[in-house]
Amino acid sequence: MPTTLRTSFIHGALIGAGLAFMGYFVGHSVVQFREFERAVSVKGLAEREVPADIAVWPIQFTSASNDLTALYATLDSNAEQVMALLKSAGFADAELTLAPPVVTDKLAQQYGSGERAAMRYTGRRTITVYSSKIDLVRSSQNNLAELGKKGIAFGGDEAQPTQYLFTKLNDVKPAMIEEATRKARDVAEKFANDSNSRLGKIKSANQGQFTVEDRDSNTPYIKRVRVVSTVDYYLSD
């Protein structure tokens, strides 16, 4: 066999052997990679009920008159009575905010309809209670009825419901995340046992978002806090 042909043959054989070895190595690596990537994704829920710690209570009262000066005087008088009631109940000045009067001229809104309103001017004022005294807010709401009996009209089209807030989420976050993660691992371990596998390390984890909602429509001052953690675990035989 000529030298050149022999050299080409040797080179070809070496290249073929190298490709065959590489193919085996790559194929073996793919199998190992796929086995290594065997994983299970599970979710763990942590949930608890907590009391609201802040109340935002807007108190709106309205009045009407054909005399603009008399209307403002009535709104001011009503505001003084409501403020006095709240302070006597135990609220501090810093917890009370009195908004300026909002007055509407019905005559200016008729636009030539020809219908004359019974009272030309209507007005409203709002006192907002922002307090951590949840029980005091709830009990004081019933006391407004006493002022209603004296002629103060509460509510109106713009009236807003009382808001109850939970602002101490950071205080419960660590324990709830730990609980959700533990529950997720319990589910993963059961899955591994049922599939004759062993649970490995965490592949990835997603804490999820915390949600704070009213427990129900009748008890908005009690909140339900929830978080769902999603954890991916490796599995092995």
Question: pLDDT tens digits for 189-201?
Answer: 999 999 899 999 9
Evaluate whether 188 touches 140 at the Cβ level (below 8 Å): no
For 31-79, what is each residue's pLDDT tens digit? Answer: 333 345 688 999 999 999 999 999 999 999 999 999 999 999 999 999 9
What is the per-residue pLDDT for 208? 87
CA angle centred on 55, ends 50 and 57, rounded to 5° = 150
Q: In terms of residue numbers, what domain contains 218?
A: 38-53+166-237
Stretch 159-174: mean pLDDT: 94
Evaluate whether 187 touches 199 at the Cβ level (below 8 Å): no
Provide the β-strand partners of residue 60.
126
What is the per-residue pLDDT for 195? 87
Residues 65, 144 share a domain: yes
What is the per-residue pLDDT for 134? 97
Q: Over 80: is that where the pLDDT of 175 sits?
A: yes
**CATH assignment at residue 220:** 3.30.110.170
In angstroms, rounded to a whole number, what is the distance separating the alpha carbons of residues 21 and 42?
39
Residues 237, 142 share a domain: no
**CATH assignment at residue 59:** 3.30.70.2970
Q: What does DSSP say about strands 153-154 and 39-51: parallel, antiparallel, or unpaired?
A: unpaired
H/E stretch holding 173: helix 169-194
- Could you tell me which residue, 26 or 12, shows the higher pLDDT? 12
Residue 23 pLDDT grade (very low, low, confident, very high; cuts 50, 70, 90): very low
Residues 153, 78 share a domain: yes
Residue 111 pLDDT grade (very low, low, confident, very high; cuts 50, 70, 90): low
Residues 147, 188 share a domain: no
Residues 28, 43 share a domain: no
Residues 67, 15 share a domain: no
For 177-225, what is each residue's pLDDT tens digit? Answer: 999 999 999 999 999 999 899 999 999 999 889 999 999 999 999 999 9
Query: What pTM was estimated for this model as a whole?
Result: 0.75
Residues 213, 139 share a domain: no
Question: In the numeric block, which tokens belong to residue 36?
Answer: 């290594």
What is the per-residue pLDDT for 21? 43
Cα-flanking dihedrals φ and ψ of residue 67, to 5°? -110, 115
Residues 123, 91 share a domain: yes
Residues 159, 62 share a domain: yes
Domain boundary among 147, 164, 181: 164
Q: How many domains does the chain have?
A: 3
Evaluate whether 102 touches 123 at the Cβ level (below 8 Å): yes
Residues 25, 105 share a domain: no
Residues 142, 179 share a domain: no
Residues 20, 70 share a domain: no
H/E stretch holding 81: helix 68-89
Task: Annotate 1-66 with DSSP letters as a single string.
Answer: --HHHHHHHHHHHHHHHHHHHHHHHHHHHHHHHHHHT-EEEEEEEEEEEEE--EEEEEEEEEEEES
In angstroms, rounded to a whole number, what is the distance separating the alpha carbons of residues 20 and 12?
12
In angstroms, rounded to a whole number, what is the distance separating the alpha carbons of residues 233 and 39?
5
Q: What does DSSP say about strands 211-214 and 121-131: parallel, antiparallel, or unpaired?
A: unpaired
What is the per-residue pLDDT for 80? 97
Evaluate whether 219 touches 172 at the Cβ level (below 8 Å): no
Give 169's DSSP letter. H
In angstroms, rounded to a whole number, what is the distance separating the alpha carbons of residues 126 and 164?
18
Domain boundary among 118, 134, 164: 164
Question: In the numeric block, which tokens belong to residue 218?
Answer: 């009748």
Mean pLDDT of the chain: 85
Domain boundary among 141, 164, 187: 164
